[in-house]
A and B are shown apart, each in its own frame.
Chain A
Amino acid sequence: MEPQSELLKINKNEYLAQQKSKLEDALEMGLTKDEYNLICEKIDKIPNITELGIFSAMFSEHCSYKSSKKWLKTLPTEASHVIQGPGENAGVIDIGENLAAVFKIESHNHPSFIEPYQGSATGVGGILRDVFTMGARPIALMNALRFGSPDQPLTKHLVSGVVKGIGGYGNCIGIPTVGGETNFDKSYDGNILVNAMAVGLAKKDRIFYSAATGAGNPVIYVGAKTGRDGIHGATMASAEFTENSTEKRPTVQVGDPFTGKLLLEACLELMNTDAVLSIQDMGAAGLTSSSVEMASKGSLGMNLNLDLVPTREDKMTSYEIMLSESQERMLMILKPGSEEKAKSIFDKWDLDFANIGEVTNTGRLILTKHGFEACSLPLEPLVEDAPEYDKPFEIKAIKKVLKPSDLKTNLTIIDILKIIFKNPNIASKKWIWEQYDSSVMGDTIFANGDSDASLVKIHGTEKKGSFGKGLAITTDCTPRYVKSDPIIGGMQAVCEAARNIASSGAKPLAITNNLNFGNPDKKNVMGEIVGSIRGISEAASYLSTPIVSGNVSLYNETNGKSILPTPVIGMVGAIEEVENSLKISAEPDNVLIALGQSENFKAGWVGCSIYQEIINKKYDGAPPPINLENEKKVIEIILKLNEQKLLTAAHDISDGGLLTTVCEMLFKYNLGLDINLPSNLINCDSYDPLLQSWCFGEDQARIIIATKYVKKVQHVLKENNIDFFVLGETNSSSNLNLKDITTISIHEIKNLNEKTIPSMMGDQQQG
């Protein structure tokens, strides 16, 4: 009789979990035949079901980055201000005064489509844990959301659920959600994107890392209990969707923001002592990835007794415990002898605290359950031998340059402007933002579109006569540009993010990126990945904003249809005195000046613009080219002008072009403006394609500033050889006049801007 028959009496499912696997099991867990054979060869045995489950999680795209790793390695990740680049729970940069900003963005796309509230809530919870695991107190949350077509019935349900979920977690845990972007496109009908970003603050010399240290040291499990939720979530997140994907609801985790808050406070309190040697949150692939990564980063091993893991449900098997993605859990290595002190802190916060094993120097992960060895795996193959694919790719770029005269229309400038502000991609997201608590913690300066970047002040840096330092944060990507030309699109996302940071008055410092794409087995999708990474690398190097953390989400396809390529850039910048920050709203009697736009600028870039789509009903043509030198110049000059306190407001020109940007600057105070036009456009009528392209073209590297000191500003601009065009002086008329060609009522446009999203969501009472 085999000894395991004893186990069969104790727990039948555990017995099954310890049986030898077959190829079919591997295929079912999302591994390929080659990968299964590689595993058997590397570990020199046939893995049991638990061991195979651990491999499948570690080899999933989500954990191993197997399709993208080759290209991710090419991203610029270093600079003098980088303390920790990619590879840890979050990136860390030096922001002076012995302070560090800790931040990361992460996707929760698949779960949010299946269960929008819990999917997005746990996305927020997960990214917060990534940040406080490093010893940082989270101070701001951001997000980048992409939904399907507004007229698709499911969209409303998904928007409503995701927004509630993001608010549900962030509001409850008490960390302000200060901004982000929300866009709509039919390519996301079956695959929405929910990318959440968290920014935290730590002392530069008190950063915590995940590498395990010291054989014999205790391995401690803290936080919530382990349940059967989210089992194999990482594998689910690495597969394409089919019509039956909603059947995967049990693989979505359930969030508990209150326990998250307790865990945050307990961890930070413990980190104030000298007890913690290393710490890692249990995110994707739960206890598997945390134990494997901690042990392998420390070149050590780990023995865990799974009977000691606090569980929520009876008779959980080793397989279930290792692959559960229950939320609000952490794994720590403590200094021997500090267990009692640590436990008292977790007792105070009513959280589980369990000593579940020890660090070893065997280089193996050994798990026991009911006294039997449930798993014995060498760590090296789990991490080092994870496959790295060089998948074939083709970077396709549209080269056709559309001319304004290619776009014939019977729409006037006012007609077009109205269509633009009726587009939920441009319209005010106030309806969404009001559901997020943006002012909790009391340090928010700008949230939700008050400025091009959101801004929080850094508590404790106040000086005499100043509120102190601030962090500026933005998330950006223009997927239609990436689709048309992945390299330019990648560059543009970085440049727009940097422009947004600079337009708030802060200096751009570093990036976290969230690369969302379709199925990498398709050549053109792989081309989008490779091309946009190339573009991001080039722009990030040029602007000295290295990538310090990030996440990749592939297989965003349903029934073979891929999303628009969406490499989201989350950027962080810093400002020395927050009272010098810039909002987007101009004040009365300000002069508006377009920086980066020459007097000779007569025809705007129409290819791939919102304007072009309005005329042609689909995007066409090459996207606006990127000139990195000009981008850098416009960023540097705006910071210079702001340092001299010459500016009232700034807003970068992006979606919808110059006229859209001007309107947004006039909305808050209902201002008017008699806008100057280049001489060749003065005699045009409102249907003229050339004039329309000037109004709505999306040429890059431009920022509109508002100033009270025109002469001084012009002097500085000339001195620095910056192209600029004076648009005119704001007045209280609330009319935007284009010479005698047309008069636009700012009231009317503002009204449209504010009504679009509420009416899309069926909320008619806004106003």
Chain B
Amino acid sequence: MIVAIRKITGKTPIKIWHKEYDIPNLDLIVIPGGFTFGDYLRCGALAARSPVITSIKNHISRGGTVLGVCNGFQILIEAKILPGSLIRNKKLLFTCRETTLEVQSCIENPFLSGLKIGECLKIPVAHNEGNYFAPEDLLKQLKEEGRIALKYIKQKDNEKNYNPNGSTEDIAGILSKNGKVLGMMPHPERAMNYLHGGTDGLKFLTNCVEQIIG
């Protein structure tokens, strides 16, 4: 993720250690993928209790922007910054593969506003617990508030496995109420060149950076 951000901005982002309480005022905090504390407990559960999360919550309450990818999304859920849960993939197997995402019609947010509604992005996933689950009332609320940002989408009518994890209504990413926090399972930083993974991740992240930092 650091390499991807550096490629787009030409600047190396600041790394924040998980035990830190004080963080400077930042344009964008990215919580990248990984396996925090090995994810031996529920994914992201321990990380969500790290000292740094308090600072991230403060950043959000000041109207700050946060992007959580994969484990980052899981941490945002465990920290109750985003609602719902991410449970084991439907097949109970880790899945690493390309997926196609569709940009949804949603509230104003800095992550997708430069992209077209209905636009498709090819971005890979790699996770064991990416099956987004929300009870019906929450789902209804998310829809009404326009907080479903990205969905997995079929490329062919007869495609069976376009949704890699069995998530409710093919949800791949959701927004916070104010649109300033996005959690998503797919990894845009792994689709940065035409040699592997394509360039849709580059397009996505470049748009984020342009909208947020200008």
Contacts and interface: CB of A to CB of B under 8 A. Distances in A.
B126 A765 contact: no
B4 A442 contact: yes
8 contacts: A261-B35, A433-B96, A434-B93, A434-B96, A436-B96, A439-B96, A440-B190, A767-B160
A415 B63 CA distance: 65
A167 B39 CA distance: 14
B160 A438 contact: no
B62 interface: no
A446 interface: yes
A355 interface: no
Contacts of A767: 159-161
A435 B96 contact: yes
Given A174-B34, A442-B4, A767-B160, A435 B195 contact: no
A619 B195 CA distance: 41
B93 to A, nearest CB: 5
Contact of B35 (A172, A444, A581, A766): A172
A445 B94 contact: no
A765 B161 contact: yes
Given A171-B126, A258-B40, A439-B187, A434 B97 contact: yes
User: Most chain-B CB neighbours within 10 Å: which of A164, A437, A467, A581?
Assistant: A437
Contacts of B97: 434
Interface string A232-270: 000000000000000000000000111101000000000
Contacts of B33: 440
Contacts of A434: 93-97
A258 B35 contact: yes
A435 B40 contact: no
Given A258-B37, A258-B40, A442-B4, A435 B192 contact: no
A437 B189 contact: no
B195 A442 contact: no
B38 A437 contact: no
B197 interface: yes
Interface residues of A, number: 34
Interface string B31-58: 0011101111000000000000000000
B193 interface: yes
A442 B3 contact: yes
A641 B4 CA distance: 34
Contacts of A436: 94, 96
A258 B97 CA distance: 23
Interface in A159-181: 164, 167-168, 171-174
Contacts of A261: 35
B93 A766 contact: no
Interface string B122-134: 0010101000000
A168 B92 CA distance: 13
B15 interface: no
User: Most chain-A CB neighbours within 10 Å: which of B3, B35, B37?
Assistant: B35
A220 B190 CA distance: 38
B119 to A, nearest CB: 22
Interface of A: 164, 167-168, 171-174, 256-259, 261, 433-440, 442, 444-446, 457, 459, 467, 578-579, 581, 763, 765-767
Contact of B126 (A259, A439, A459, A578): A439
B11 interface: no
A21 B123 CA distance: 63
A446 B196 contact: yes
Contacts of B128: 171
Interface string B75-96: 0000000000000000101111
B213 to A, nearest CB: 21
B161 A257 contact: no
A171 B94 contact: yes
Nearest to A433: B96
A440 B126 contact: yes
Interface of B: 3-4, 33-35, 37-40, 91, 93-97, 124, 126, 128, 159-161, 187, 189-190, 192-193, 195-197
A433 B96 CA distance: 8
Given A445-B196, A467-B193, 9 more contacts: A171-B94, A258-B40, A259-B38, A436-B96, A437-B94, A442-B189, A445-B195, A457-B195, A766-B161
Contacts of B126: 171, 437, 439-440
Contacts of A766: 160-161
A578 B195 contact: yes
Contact of A435 (B35, B37, B94, B196): B94
B197 A439 contact: yes
Nearest to A438: B96
Given A435-B96, A437-B126, A442-B190, A171 B35 contact: yes
Contacts of B197: 439
B96 A437 contact: yes
B72 to A, nearest CB: 14
7 closest cross-chain pairs (CB), A and B: A258-B38, A172-B35, A437-B126, A439-B190, A437-B96, A435-B94, A767-B160
Contacts of A257: 35, 38
B208 to A, nearest CB: 17
A681 to B, nearest CB: 38
A174 B40 CA distance: 15
A224 to B, nearest CB: 12
B95 A435 contact: yes
B7 to A, nearest CB: 10
A486 to B, nearest CB: 37
A435 B38 contact: no
B40 to A, nearest CB: 7
A636 to B, nearest CB: 25
Contacts of B91: 763, 765
A440 B33 CA distance: 9
B94 A167 contact: yes
Nearest to B95: A434
Contacts of A765: 91, 160-161
A259 B4 CA distance: 26
A369 B161 CA distance: 59
B95 A579 contact: no
A168 B40 CA distance: 11
A754 to B, nearest CB: 11
A509 to B, nearest CB: 21
Contacts of B159: 767
A463 to B, nearest CB: 14
Contacts of A258: 35, 37-38, 40
A646 B189 CA distance: 32
A13 to B, nearest CB: 31
A582 B96 CA distance: 22
B35 A174 contact: yes
Contacts of A174: 34-35
A306 B160 CA distance: 58
Contacts of A164: 93-94
B44 to A, nearest CB: 13
Contacts of B190: 439-440, 442
Nearest to B190: A439
A23 to B, nearest CB: 45
A732 B85 CA distance: 45
A767 B4 CA distance: 32
A765 B38 CA distance: 30
A159 B193 CA distance: 33
A257 B94 CA distance: 16
A171 B35 CA distance: 8
B196 A444 contact: yes
A180 to B, nearest CB: 14
A451 to B, nearest CB: 11
A434 B97 CA distance: 6
Contacts of B96: 171, 433-439
A665 B3 CA distance: 33
Contacts of B196: 439, 444-446
Nearest to A440: B126
Nearest to B39: A172
A578 B128 CA distance: 30
Contacts of B37: 258
